[in-house]
Amino acid sequence: MSTEVKEAPAKEVVVKEPSEPLFSKKNKKLLIDPLDDANPITVQVLGICSALAITVQVKQAIVMSLSVLAVMIFGNLIVSLIRNMIPNRIRIIVQLVVVASLVILVDQVLKAYVYDVSKALSVFVGLIITNCIIMGRLEAFALGNKPWPSILDAIGNAAGYGWILIAVALVREVFGSGTISFPGLDEAITLVPASVFDFGYMNNNLMILPPMALITVGIIIWIQRNRNTKLFEEN
């Protein structure tokens, strides 16, 4: 009489993948690249309208940069969290609703705390809704990535957008008005003493006109591409 010995089923060994550090090399790249190699304005040529229109004063550029930063962070976070529940056919509509809701909140905050700047920015706060940078990052990144990388991507691109705006505004305000202004200050800081005008110095009013914003952005692009050989384009 033979007895059969049944082997116990082998237990599946679950190997846990090591968790990625919060600031891994890949995540740091999301923060650093938009500042130079993948700058949304100078490399991708997005968001040019606001760079031309609201960079007459530094405080306007700072407020606009912070507004875009807030909208991008929360927009990327929300879209990333609900990305698996968004039907593909209406994803653009969902993104617009998310961004529009955030822009309305930002606009109300600006009117409550920095009304003069909000008035100067005029319709450009509302136009954040259709900002190519924001919609582009939602579509290209937040829809396919987890919340933390999406937040880092938002911070990186908003910072890349912001430093260009502030740099352009700094050049235009200093050389166009001889002043520099910051949010929270009632009056702009005068950089050129009144006595200098007695020697024939005049502020260059051409700098406060929109064409000079485009020229200033062009100079920044030229400097950036000459410094960074990776941005060279072959014909």
Q: Domain segments of the chain: what residues? A: 40-222
Confidence of residue 79 (pLDDT cuts 50, 70, 90): very high
Tokens, residue 131: 């900002």
Confidence of residue 83 (pLDDT cuts 50, 70, 90): very high
Confidence of residue 65 (pLDDT cuts 50, 70, 90): very high
Please state the φ and ψ torsions of residue 230, each to the nearest 5 degrees: -70, -15
CA–CA distance, 209 with 52 (Å, rounded to integer): 9
Q: Which residues of 62-91 are buried (b: 16+ CB within 10 A; e: fewer)?
A: bbbbebbbbbbbbbbbbbbeebeebeeeee
pLDDT digits (tens, 9 = 90+) for 88-98: 899 999 999 99
Contact by Cβ (8 Å): 194, 202 = no
pTM higher than 0.75 for the full model? yes
Q: ∠ at Cα 28 (69, 140), nearest 5°? A: 60
Please state the φ and ψ torsions of residue 19, each to the nearest 5 degrees: -70, 145
DSSP 10: P
